[in-house]
Amino acid sequence: EVQLVESGGGLVQPGGSLRLSCAASGFTFNSYWMSWVRQAPGKGLEWVANIKQDGSDKYYVDSVKGRFTISRDNAKNSLYLQMNTLRAEDTAVYYCARDRWVQWLVLDQWGQGTLVTVSS
Amino acid sequence: DIVLTQSPATLSLSPGERATLSCRASQSVSSYLAWYQQKPGQAPRLLIYDASNRATGIPARFSGSGSGTDFTLTISSLEPEDFAVYYCQQRGNWPGTFGGGTRVEIK
């Protein structure tokens, strides 16, 4: 069974940093592109970042470029999102998701999400 | 970025009725459009990818159609568990933008 389990969310002050983790199991992690998608409270979905199987290609939405870094450790079957210089508008549930194997940017497996709240 | 506009914002229907949801793209995305279902407190679930392909385990009452800029998700006969929010999403280019969602509620 495929499982994606996020952790690391919480309350942080504006300007602060947070590192999210996603533990993957039940599939060959190093064969898949992986993504982070967020959802502000009561709002829609926004793709945040995307990373290739070997970490050599990374993509970011404009609103997080220069502040967020996506990475992965294939030996640990883990995905990460380092978030720096956090703003109130970064408050959201952050989902870790797997890109479908042969369709890049189609998300066929999702974690349960971890809530990040940026507030003083 | 490609903008996806979903309509209507809310659809009020009864179980057993047919639901037709629309998604329009600001420019062509070919057939690179997916549909997701999200229930309160849950992560989204992939229903349809590349306009018309059902994802694994998705019932046949869900179908997708369209290409270019206009797409439709049809639920042929609503079951109680289908009342949820539905999002379309394009993968024509990065970022893979989502529509604003259509809420299907019980009438």
- List residues bridging with B89 in a β-sheet: B34, B98
**Is 90 exceeded by the pLDDT of residue A72?**
yes
Show residues of chain A in contact with B46, CB under 8 Å. 100, 106-108
What does the pLDDT read at residue B93? Answer: 85
**Is 90 exceeded by the pLDDT of residue A64?**
yes
The reply to whether A100 touches chain B by the CB within 8 Å rule is yes
**Contact assignment for A44 to B101 by CB distance below 8 Å:** yes
User: Each residue of B32-60: pLDDT tens digit?
Assistant: 999 999 999 999 999 999 999 999 999 99
User: Each residue of A26-36: pLDDT tens digit?
Assistant: 999 999 999 99
The reply to whether A107 touches chain B by the CB within 8 Å rule is yes
| Single-letter code of the amino acid located at B99 | G
Q: Residue A102: which pLDDT band, with cuts at 50, 70 and 90? A: confident
Show residues of chain B in contact with A108, CB under 8 Å. 46, 49, 55-56
By CA distance, what is A5's nearest residue in B? B43
Give the distance from CA A106 to its chain's centroid.
15
B54: helix, strand or coil: strand
**Is 90 exceeded by the pLDDT of residue B94?**
no
Show residues of chain A in contact with B86, CB under 8 Å. none
Letter string b/e over residues A38-70, b meaning 16 or more CB atoms within 10 A of that residue's CB: bbeeeebbbbbbbbebeeeeebbbeebeeebbb
